Amino acid sequence: MRLLATKYFPPQHKIQQFLERSRDLWKKKHHELKMQIKLANNQVRAVEKSRQLWRERAEAAEAELQLAKSSKNILHGKAS
């Protein structure tokens, strides 16, 4: 006895539900990743700005130190 294979076609509303759910999950994932990227970019910008400010402060302190050293040498009569 041989069974005849019949093709199964799911109802259209089931296919539509599946595709809508798939699309909605994909959009949710995309928006979450987009937000994470935006936050990471903001963090990078903040760190770069902070580094630049600290670099400028360090360079200013170094220049002030060099000026103080040269003033000290002039006061003590030493020439560099």
Q: Give me the pLDDT at residue 6, please.
A: 80
What span, in angstroms and rounded, lies between the C-alpha atoms of 53 and 47? 10
With cut-offs at 50, 70 and 90, classify the pLDDT of residue 78.
low
Which DSSP string corresponds to 21-61?
HHHHHHHHHHHHHHHHHHHHHHHHHHHHHHHHHHHHHHHHH
Element (H, E) at 71: helix 12-75
Task: Please tell me the pTM assigned to this model.
Answer: 0.60
- Higher pLDDT among residues 69 and 52, named by residue: 52
As a whole number, the mean pLDDT across the chain is 91
pLDDT tens digits for range 1-18: 566 668 888 999 999 999
Domains of the chain, residue spans: 34-75
Least reliable range by pLDDT among 1-5, 41-45, 56-60, 62-66: 1-5
Element (H, E) at 16: helix 12-75
What span, in angstroms and rounded, lies between the C-alpha atoms of 42 and 10? 47
The residue written with tokens 């935006």 in the block is: 38
